[in-house]
Amino acid sequence: MRDANGNFSLLHRTCSLVVLLCFLHISVTLIYYVRNSDSRPTFLQNQQTPQIHRKLNEQKVSTEETSPPSVSNGTETERKMETCPDNPPKLVGPLRVEFSDPVTLDLVREQNPALQPGGRFKPEDCIAQQKVAMIIPFRSRDEHLKFWLYYMHPILQRQQLDYGVYVIIQDGDETFNRAKLLNIGYAEALKEYDYQCFVFSDVDLIPMDDRNIYKCFNQPRHLSVSMDKFGFRLPYTQYFGGVSSLSKEQFLKINGFPNKYWGWGGEDDDIFNRISAKGMSISRPDALIGRCRMIRHDRDKQNDPNPQRFDRIAHTRHTMSKDGINSLSYKVVNVEKDQLFTKITVNVGKP
């Protein structure tokens, strides 16, 4: 009997101890949870409501390398909306990009019903961080332009940009002048809308990852850093060709781009020289996110390598204050507005 009593009392004490320990454990957990409610584990953060998710993204704004968000002077509804996040929620990451099956403009129009005339778009549920003009230098590359529009419109919409697409067409068949067309794109786009950022894109380059955001950063940005034709690496450190972005301030600081590079080559190196002459550096996405494909093609007519290019890039620092956006002259020949783009045909003169 004494044994049974002894066993019972031991059991009783053990149970009390277990209950006490459980109570202690719950109390400590509760206190810890209440004090740290903002730093819950990631799996919980991912299940939060969109509003909380947006807050988390907002906190990152100050640490990111982006330009300051735009100040909106929009409508009442716009004022109530929040700025779009740094990491737009609909991005999908790596993309399949290929050019074997041709696409039609009608298909691209059908697939992008949210576009406004001129290839314009604004996100519906938040205020875009930046107003971005996409500038494409162009002549006789219609097949490439269809692919560009087909791939880029959905990407740019997922990136939640307030953007417009400007195709700047060199009229006639004189020697091609890529950089001058880009200057014209800057000037013409600004006549239409208060753009703060300008993305300059060759028509034959498509990003392979939509996290490569086509916007502006604290330094001029080189976006096509990892091209298939160069084995997914930079051909040389100073390379600034293909796709780049500059804010209005950055563009004006370097007096825009040179107007005197007729024919192929060197104008992108001149732009690089301007940027470094003004004490800026190049910002780039990492090599994985910056992968892109180029549509293979033959050399264009009237765009042979420019024999003067080496001499010109040797003198950028002396020429850049006189040759640039401050000396730009051209004539607009035609403007065409489509759901997918604004095409501006221009007379750029000749060498």
Residues annotated as part of the active site: 202, 204, 264, 267-268, 294, 297, 299
Q: Which range binds ligand UDH by CB under 6 A, 9-17, 88-96, 105-113, 202-210?
A: 202-210
Among 249, 300, 311, 336, binds ligand UDH (CB under 6 A): 300
Site string for ligand NGS, 226-255 (x = CB under 6 A): ---------x-----x--------------
The reply to whether 142 sits near ligand UDH by the rule CB under 6 A is: no
Residue 120: which of ligand UDH, ligand NGS, none does it interact with, CB under 5 to 8 A by kind?
none
The reply to whether 175 sits near ligand UDH by the rule CB under 6 A is: no
Residue 299: which of ligand NGS, ligand UDH, none does it interact with, CB under 5 to 8 A by kind?
ligand UDH
Among 207, 265, 285, 290, binds ligand NGS (CB under 6 A): 265
Name the residue among 229, 223, 227 with its Cα closest to residue 282. 223
Among 176, 195, 251, 262, binds ligand UDH (CB under 6 A): 176
Give the binding-site size for ligand NGS (rule: CB under 6 A): 9
Rounded CA-CA distance 134/199 in Å is 5
The reply to whether 141 sits near ligand UDH by the rule CB under 6 A is: yes
Nearer to ligand UDH, 58 or 228 (CB): 228
The reply to whether 166 sits near ligand UDH by the rule CB under 6 A is: no
CB atoms < 10 A from the CB of 210, how many? 23
Sheet containing strand 226-227, edge to edge, reads 205-207, 291-294, 226-227
Q: Which range binds ligand NGS by CB under 6 A, 12-20, 114-122, 206-214, 263-271?
A: 263-271
The interaxial angle of helices 267-277 and 178-192, nearest 10 deg, is 60
Residue 293: which of ligand UDH, ligand NGS, none does it interact with, CB under 5 to 8 A by kind?
none
Q: Cα torsion at 191, 195, 197, 199 (round to 10°)? A: -60
Name the residue among 81, 188, 184, 170 with its Cα closest to residue 349. 170
Residue 248: which of ligand NGS, ligand UDH, none does it interact with, CB under 5 to 8 A by kind?
none
Nearer to ligand UDH, 204 or 270 (CB): 204
Name the residue among 194, 101, 199 with its Cα closest to residue 152. 199
The reply to whether 204 sits near ligand UDH by the rule CB under 6 A is: yes
Nearer to ligand NGS, 119 or 241 (CB): 241
Residue 300: which of ligand NGS, ligand UDH, none does it interact with, CB under 5 to 8 A by kind?
ligand UDH
Q: How far is CA 144 from the centre of its chain?
A: 20
Tokens 């006639």: give the residue. Answer: 172
Residue 106 tokens read as 């009608």
Shortest reach from residue 113's CB to ligand NGS, in Å? 35
Residue 128 tokens read as 């875009």
Contact 92, 158 (CB under 8 A): yes
* DSSP codes, 25-86: HHHHHHHHHHHTTTS--HHHHTTS-HHHHHHHHHHHTTTSSBPPPPPP---HHHHHSPBPPS
Nearer to ligand NGS, 128 or 313 (CB): 313
* DSSP codes, 153-214: HHHHHHTT-EEEEEEEEEPSSSPP-HHHHHHHHHHHHHHHS---EEEEE-TTEEESBTTS--
Contacts of 157 (CB under 8 A, 6+ apart): 112, 114, 121, 123
Residues 303-332 contacting ligand NGS, CB under 6 A: 309-310, 313
Rounded CA-CA distance 61/318 in Å is 38
Among 76, 124, 142, 298, binds ligand UDH (CB under 6 A): 298
Among 72, 87, 218, 303, binds ligand UDH (CB under 6 A): 303
Residues interacting with ligand UDH, by CB under 6 A?
136-141, 176, 178, 202-204, 264, 298-300, 303
